[in-house]
Chain A
Amino acid sequence: MKLVHLAAISTSIVVALGIVMVLPAFTRTPHYTPPLLVMLSFSVVDNTNVPDWCNDLSSIFKKYGIKATVFFTGKVVDEHPECVTVFSNNIDIGSQTYNYVDLTEIPDYTVQLEEVRNGKQAVDYAGKLYSRVFKAPYGSADENIYSLLSRSDIAADFSYDDKYNKYYNGQFIRFDLAVYEGNSSSADFFHKLTVSETPTVINFDNSTPVEQIDRFISELKSGNVRFVNASEVTSIDLTIREGE
């Protein structure tokens, strides 16, 4: 072997080693962690704080530019229709019966149906919109619920704490859901949740001070979270406003 070949070999080793160590930098792929899908769900169940609470809540939504879903009781919106109209287009509006009653406690199917229908109609009338999302008061529903919803022209139901139902091809289909109470969980708890494809619903009602909700959203937003509404979760347009 010529001595110059020795130099060529040593140089080749040096260059190859260098390239081998640098190349991994070019084989990296973007490290993307999908965000936690969070649907904030608000229930206006009685006349406490209304309409100031609604007005303040709407301001918070605008401040953070987030999507959410607000469920109203028919009786409340009859008295305070501005509660519905105050929310902007990216907020889904749903109904939760007219009198906020436990449907399973009503023996008569017709009365159940009236509660559901009247609640929806009141919301639609107050907000000049067409709402197709429902949530049963107290999370309580029985086997009649699907019939009640389909006869009330409602396409999505968020009554339960482990699923939601979506109307598709003439029947309601169940999808997984993780539901938490906003008052009993910190934002940090949600930051630590393992991200999955299952949407996370966080419930509040109008007994929660808006300042607390503001703080909660602010903290939640600092993490890898994407706020969605019921329409985005179900891929159905559940709130059609007049003029849309």
Chain B
Amino acid sequence: MNSQTSVFLTNVRKSGQRISKDGRIQVSRKAWTVRVSAFVAASTMIAFNVYLGLTLNDVFVVYSTLLPIESLLYVVIGWLLYRNPARGTVGNDLVTVVVPIYNQKSVIEIVIDAIFRSTYKNIEIIAVNDGSSDGTKEILDNLVRRYPNLRVIHKEVNEGKRRAVAAGFYASKSNYIVLIDSDSIIDEHAIEQVMKTFNADTKVGAIVGNAKVWNSEKNILTRCQDAWYDYSFNIRKATESTFGNVLCCSGCLAAYRREAIVHYIPYWVKAKLRDSEDRELTSYVISSSLGKKLMESMAQYDDAEDRGLTAQALTDWKSVYVADAVIYTDVPEKLKVFLKQQKRWKKGTTRVNFFVSAFFWRKHPIMSLIFYMDFMMTFTTPLIIVAVFLYAPLVLQSYLIPASFIGGSLLASLAHGADYKFRDSTTRNWFYKPLMNLITSFMISWLIIPALLSYRKNEWGTR
């Protein structure tokens, strides 16, 4: 390992999150007091809202309760039922780590170094250079001399992340494929946790790790994303994992059992549009045989690589979240870049969900409810924002509705943020969650419009 990597790994703020013996994410008793209080308060509010909606015979009031109900479901299931699935033996099967790379000369050495620092030693690393033009090629060639287990595939032309991943997949020899984004630094124990999970349950076809933001202290935007990532992984994915249905094994650290995706890769690689590849793959894994056919239809679109892979895995397999398989990833530091990334994600998510919606009702009822509510809100949130913040004050002369929306959102996000602090006492960004919620409501939700308008435009990237 070179000195640059040592300095980097020393400076990264490590996750303070711990897993208890029974597989729960550890929190103190004080945290449980706050959680129970928050649950009682939220349940009371929801019950009152439902009562109000029924007595007023107002569908919108009832609909407005779906948002907090979904939020509450996520939180409660995540708190009570999630168990870290890395409970098997480590074993010594060969694991292939595929790293698709495009113009990453500043960090690629650190990324590769970090993989070789893994406590799990039986690994082959396949770095796929997708036609980089910034000197990444030369760095990779130097690394090959340092690491005999590193294989580098140089592609002359940039063809996109899917084809880069597929090239790595076809070159791999193992039954376990770990995908890592080229801007993400894997924790030394992560692959070990991944293998413990695969060995604990032979039905697990896809795994997502716990992504922490390593540039979180950079500015307000990265701090907000840090709090958001924690919620996305330790609440949302934890809940989805409880049902074996994580909807998106994020590209920063996803692992697949070869047989879960081997038949899908040929379809997946043909995609013309590229967003959310990881979600697509995940969806395939958990889908039924009918779903698999659908996913194969979807594969022609190249904008959902991670979701697509997950969707593929979801067909006959479980997809789970491993809270102690940590990876440190960087997030956009500028708003423009962040919004571009979010637009790409929104487009991919919408496309994958379009196909997944055809079969997801067969899944666990609670998971189905969560999925369809989420999908519905992708389209209706902008309408709700207009109803609450324009129609209510300007037409109805009601300021109570927007005030209660903001108040409710801030309180809920403050509870989420506090929960982050309880899980990881070293965090300094937990109180940015309310701000992130506002960004989600007023900016990200609107990206559905440009996402749909740019439906056929190709966009590559991990951000």
Distance of A130 Cα from B384 Cα, bound (Å) = 58
Q: Does A243 contact B (CB under 8 A)?
A: no
Whether A19 pairs with B357 at a CB distance below 8 angstroms is no
B344-393 residues with Cβ-Cβ distance < 8 A to A are: 353-355, 357-358, 361, 372, 375-377, 379-380, 383-384, 387-388, 391-392
Name 8 extra pairs, CB < 8 A, besides A11-B354, A21-B62: A10-B358, A15-B379, A17-B376, A23-B60, A25-B60, A25-B391, A29-B396, A30-B395
Q: Which of A2, A6, A21, A31 has the most CB of B within 10 A?
A: A21
Q: Does A193 contact B (CB under 8 A)?
A: no
Chain B's nearest CB lies how many Å from the CB of A94?
37
Among B297, B353, B354, B380, the residue within 8 A (CB) of A22 is B380
Given contacts A3-B297, A14-B376, contact A21 B60 (CB under 8 A): yes
Given contacts A21-B59, A22-B63, contact A4 B297 (CB under 8 A): yes
User: SS class of chain B's interface: helix, strand, loop or mixed?
Assistant: helix
Q: Does B14 contact A (CB under 8 A)?
A: no
Q: Does A28 contact B (CB under 8 A)?
A: yes
Chain A residues closer than 8 Å to B380, beta-carbon distance: 18-19, 21-22
Whether A6 pairs with B294 at a CB distance below 8 angstroms is yes
Chain B residues closer than 8 Å to A107, beta-carbon distance: none
Whether A7 pairs with B354 at a CB distance below 8 angstroms is yes
Among B60, B62, B63, B290, the residue within 8 A (CB) of A3 is B290
Among B290, B361, B376, B384, the residue within 8 A (CB) of A25 is B384
Chain A residues closer than 8 Å to B357, beta-carbon distance: 7, 10-11, 14
- Bin chain B's interface residue count: 20 to 34
Q: Mark A185-229, 1 if CB is under 8 A from B, else 0.
A: 000000000000000000000000000000000000000000000
Whether A3 pairs with B294 at a CB distance below 8 angstroms is yes
Q: Mark A35-49, 1 if CB is under 8 A from B, else 0.
A: 000000000000000
Distance of A23 Cα from B63 Cα, bound (Å) = 11
Among A7, A10, A20, A29, the residue within 8 A (CB) of B59 is A20
Among A7, A21, A25, the residue within 8 A (CB) of B294 is A7
Q: Does A24 contact B (CB under 8 A)?
A: yes
Among B59, B66, B392, B395, the residue within 8 A (CB) of A24 is B59
Residue contacts A-B, CB under 8 angstroms, 28 given = A3-B294, A3-B358, A4-B355, A7-B297, A7-B298, A7-B357, A10-B361, A11-B354, A11-B375, A14-B357, A14-B372, A14-B376, A14-B379, A15-B379, A17-B376, A19-B380, A19-B383, A21-B380, A23-B60, A24-B58, A25-B383, A25-B384, A25-B391, A25-B392, A26-B391, A28-B391, A30-B396, A30-B397
Whether B377 pairs with A18 at a CB distance below 8 angstroms is yes
Chain A's nearest CB lies how many Å from the CB of B160?
23
Whether A31 pairs with B396 at a CB distance below 8 angstroms is yes
Chain A residues closer than 8 Å to B358, beta-carbon distance: 3, 6-7, 9-10
Distance of A187 Cα from B361 Cα, bound (Å) = 58
Q: Does B293 contact A (CB under 8 A)?
A: yes
Chain A residues closer than 8 Å to B376, beta-carbon distance: 14-15, 17-18
Given contacts A10-B358, A17-B376, A21-B380, contact A26 B387 (CB under 8 A): yes
Chain B residues closer than 8 Å to A15, beta-carbon distance: 376, 379
Chain A residues closer than 8 Å to B298, beta-carbon distance: 7
Distance of A2 Cα from B376 Cα, bound (Å) = 23
Chain B residues closer than 8 Å to A18, beta-carbon distance: 376-377, 379-380, 383
B85-105 residues with Cβ-Cβ distance < 8 A to A are: none
Nearest opposing residue in chain A for B294, CB measure: A3
Distance of A17 Cα from B62 Cα, bound (Å) = 13
Chain B residues closer than 8 Å to A26, beta-carbon distance: 387, 391
Distance of A138 Cα from B83 Cα, bound (Å) = 84
Nearest opposing residue in chain A for B392, CB measure: A25
Whether B395 pairs with A25 at a CB distance below 8 angstroms is no
Distance of A20 Cα from B376 Cα, bound (Å) = 11
Distance of A17 Cα from B354 Cα, bound (Å) = 15
Distance of A61 Cα from B397 Cα, bound (Å) = 29
Distance of A15 Cα from B379 Cα, bound (Å) = 7
